[in-house]
Chains A and B, each alone.
Chain A
């Protein structure tokens, strides 16, 4: 497996949708290619960081105001 072939499989690997056979080919490539291993690990970490730290949050006070406005309109038939 070449590095380009590995890269083409990166998403499937991260999303856990590769066959057992492909997985063993990937493992073999990774055992001899530090660059691809770093790419895999840091890409996984990238997703994990964005999942655990929301970039935008709706403050509770704004949430309450928006919900009240939405529900008032719904009750009046919009």
Chain B
């Protein structure tokens, strides 16, 4: 698979040394890790909470929790995957607080056929994003992904946008690999279907 990075046995991921230094109290090493991953953590948190303030709080809490628990980091997964898992849990906690009484879970089985069979089969105009201004396009993309069930949009974001492998996505979310695969396919197809409303080639006479 394209996203799996094969690392040689002698080749060490640069985070390993940073984590080792941070463990011995080198706060600058930890700051380097914060600088490296804060934007990704913010995006993931905002996809889950859909709230800017909560996502900012998650960035702070996730890094602080990671710092506190550095001793517990086993090193059999990447630091980034471990950090994402902490951030996902923090985000879900914030979401549950806001939606008291409502079930919030990435693992809930989503009964939906939407997108499982492509319906809108019109081709898109070439470079459809160029038909929109930056702000307008951003709004379309945001609204479209926000409309997806939680488990779908998070899997899509981690796997397709943030570049985690299927296995790392499963580990971060506490899902099985088949569950990630099934959500990813449905997420991709639902997004495609919804974006088609904006990007499809217009037939003659259509507005």
Please report A residues at the B interface, Cβ cutoff 8 Å. Answer: 7, 10-11, 14-17, 34-35, 38-39, 41-43, 45-47, 49-51, 53-58, 62-63, 66-67, 69-71, 73-75, 78
Contact = CB atoms under 8 A, between A and B. Distances in A.
A11 B192 contact: no
A71 B64 contact: no
B3 A15 contact: yes
Given A38-B123, A50-B145, A70 B34 contact: yes
A39 B118 contact: yes
B129 A49 contact: yes
Contact of A75 (B27, B121, B189): B27
Given A58-B38, A63-B39, 11 more contacts: A7-B118, A11-B184, A11-B188, A17-B2, A42-B123, A43-B188, A45-B128, A47-B188, A53-B138, A74-B64, A78-B64
Interface stretch (B54-62, B74-82, B102-110): B54-62
Contacts of A42: 123-124, 192, 195-196, 199
B30 interface: yes
B43 A56 contact: yes
Given A41-B123, A70-B64, A74-B67, A46 B47 contact: no
Given A11-B181, A39-B118, A56-B55, A49 B31 contact: no
Interface of B is mostly: helix
B78 to A, nearest CB: 19
Interface residues of B, number: 48
Interface of B: 1-3, 27, 30-31, 34-35, 38-39, 42-43, 46-47, 55-56, 59-60, 63-64, 67-68, 117-118, 121-124, 128-129, 137-138, 141-142, 145, 156, 160-161, 181, 184-185, 188-189, 191-192, 195-196, 199
